[in-house]
Amino acid sequence: MHIHRSADEFVVHAPAKVNLFFEVLGKRDDGYHEIETLMCPIDLYDTLYFQEEPNGQLELTCGRVSGRHDVQDGEIPQGPENLVWRAVDSLRRRAGVTSGARLRLVKRIPAAAGLGGGSSDAAAALMLANLGWNLNWSPQQLHGLAAELGSDVPFFLLGRPAVCRGRGELVDEVAGIGPLHLVLVRPPAGLATAAVYGACRPAACPNPLTPLLEALERGDLRASGRLLFNRLQPAAESLSPWIERLRREFEGTDCLGHGMSGSGTSYYGLCRHARHARRIARRLAANGRGSVFVVRSCR
C-alpha cells in the first residue's frame, strides 16, 4: 500500500483485488469453506486518513466518491459496524493503547462486488494505527489480528500477488507475474458473499492452479486468459442475472479471457495492454452494464 505522512496525519491508498483463480475445495467444521485462490491487487483505491487523538476517542467519518471529485458523506457505516473502526479498536485493545484516533475513509471501490474493498480498508487501518501509535508491531503480529478480522485482510497486508489458502488467511506471495491490464465492470446489483457460498457446490475434482501460475510467470497472456477460473461463478449466475449478462457481453469482445472476481458481482476481462482495455471499456460503458473501470495489477 502507498503510505504518506504529513505533519500530524498518515494517509494510505488501499487497493481493490481481483481473483484470477478461485477453487472451493470443501466446507470446514467451523462453517467456512476451504479455498485456493490467486489474487492480485489492482490500482482502484480507497483512501484512509489517520490522526492520533489524545482524548482516547475513536472517530470515523466516511464518504463515497460519486463523480470525478465529489465526495458524498453519510452513506457508509461510521461506527463499530465498519471494519475500519473494528480493526483500529481491536489493535488498540490488544496493544493496550490509551490514545484514540480520528479516521476518514474515502470510498472508490464498489461494495458487494468481490473486490475486497472492506478487507483492504481494514488492512490499511491496521497499518496506519501501527504507525500512528508507534507500536512497532511486526508483520507477523499484524497478520494474526488481520486473520481474525476477515479472510482477505491478511492478503492486503502483503499487498502483492499471492496464492491464498485455508479460508483465505494463509498467504503465499507469487513472484514473477508481470503487470496485467484489465477492464472491470461492477453491475448495478451486488450479491451477498454468504448466499453465493451457500449456492456453491465444492469440486469433486478440483481444478489445478499450477498451469495458470506457470503461464503468468512466463508472460503468456493468451494461455493465462484461457486458464482463468472461478468455482463460485455458476452459483452467482443462479442468484443474479447480471453475471450471465456480463459473461455474454465479454464473450463478444476480443479479451484474452474473462471471469467473475471473488463472490461477484464484478466481472473482468484480461487485455493485451492498456489501449486494448480502454477500447473494450468504451464499448461496455456504451452498453450501460454498470460502472466500468480500466485497471492494472499493482504492488
Query: Any idea which residue has 485456493 for its cell?
Result: 36
Inter-helix orientation angle 117-132/139-149, to 10°:
140
Q: Are 184 and 267 in contact (CB under 8 A)?
A: yes
Query: Any idea which residue has 467519518 for its cell?
Result: 61
HSE (CB half, 13 Å, CA atoms) of 56?
A: 4
How far out from the chain centre does Cα 220 lie?
24
Cell numbers given for 46: 480507497
The reply to whether omega before 265 is within 30° of 0 (cis) is yes
Query: Any idea which residue has 465444492 for its cell?
Result: 202
17 is catalytic: yes
User: Which candidate in 17, 89, 107, 121 is catalytic?
Assistant: 17
Distance separating alpha carbons of residues 289 and 211, to the nearest angstrom: 32
Inter-helix orientation angle 117-132/83-95, to 10°:
30
User: Which candidate in 46, 89, 121, 152 is catalytic?
Assistant: 152
Which positions are catalytic? Answer: 17, 152
